[in-house]
Amino acid sequence: MFRITPPRLLAAVTAAGAAVVLTAVPAAAHVEVEADKAQALAESVEVTFFAESESASAGITQLRVILPEGIAPADVTYKEGPEGWKFTANDDGYTVKGPAVQVGEDAEHSVVVRQLPDAEELAFKTLQSYSDGKVDRWIELGASSGDGHGHGNEAPVLKLKAAAPGAQVVSPSPTESQSPSASPTPTAAETAASASPQADATGKDDDSGLSAGAWTGIIAAVVVVAGAVLFLVRRRSGAQQ
C-alpha cells in the first residue's frame, strides 16, 4: 500500500505550486514591439505594437506611445490598427484611439518610421487605456539590462542590429519653423529707423527733396521780407505827403 509521508506531501505541494506559477506567467499582460527592419539607421521601417488586454470587463480604447530619442513625431506615419481607430501626433510621440476593442482582445497597430536612430535598443513608453477609465502604464526602464529590478510594467523595447556599412543619417523632416516666411523680416536697423521719431521729423519730402523743417524756414523768411517791404512802402508814402 502506498503511503503519503510528510516529505512526499511537501514535494507534491511544491510541484503543484510551481506549476501554477509557471502557467500564470505567460498570461501577464504587457506591450510588445517588433519591426520588419530592426537595424540602426534603417529607413522606412514598419514598427508594430502588440498591446495585451488584462481586463475581463473593459476593452482597450487607446494607446499613447512616447517616442525614444532620435525619432521625431513628424517622422512617424500611421499604417493600420483596430477598426475605427485614429492616429494623432503629439509633442513627444503619438496616440492611436477609437472604439473599444472586444473585451479580452489584444490591440495591435503599426506605424512607419522614416529612419531609426543609431542606437542599440529603443524603448517605447506606452500608456494603455480601457473603456472603464483604467490605464496600464508600461513605462519602466532598465528591465532589459538583466539587473532583475523591473517593477512588472516594463516599457516595450526594440533591440537593433548594428547599422549597415555606409548607412548615414538622413536630413531631418521639414517643419513649419524651417519653412520660408511669406514676407522678409525687417532688420534691426530698418525697424529702429521706422520706429524713431527723429526719422519721421527729419524725413524728406518725396517731391522736392527738402525736409519739412527747411520748408518752414523758407516760408518764415518770405513773410519777414514781405513785411519789411510793406513797411518801407508805407513809410515813403507818408514822407511824400
For 90-102, the pLDDT digits (tens) are: 999 999 999 999 9
Secondary structure of 180-235 in HEC code, one letter for each residue: CCCCCCCCHHHHHHHHCHHHHHCCECCCCCCEHHHHHHHHHHHHHHHHHHHHHHHH
pLDDT (average), residues 11-15: 47
Segment holding 78, helix H or strand E: strand 76-80
Alpha-carbon distance of 140 to 150, in angstroms, equals 7
Residues contacting 234, CB < 8 A, separation 6+: none
Q: Over the stretch 114-157, which tens digit does the pLDDT of each residue have?
A: 999 999 999 999 999 999 999 999 999 975 444 433 446 999 99
Beta bridge partners of 93: 66
pLDDT digits (tens, 9 = 90+) for 24-75: 333 345 999 999 999 999 999 999 999 999 999 999 999 999 999 999 999 9
The whole-model pTM stands at 0.60
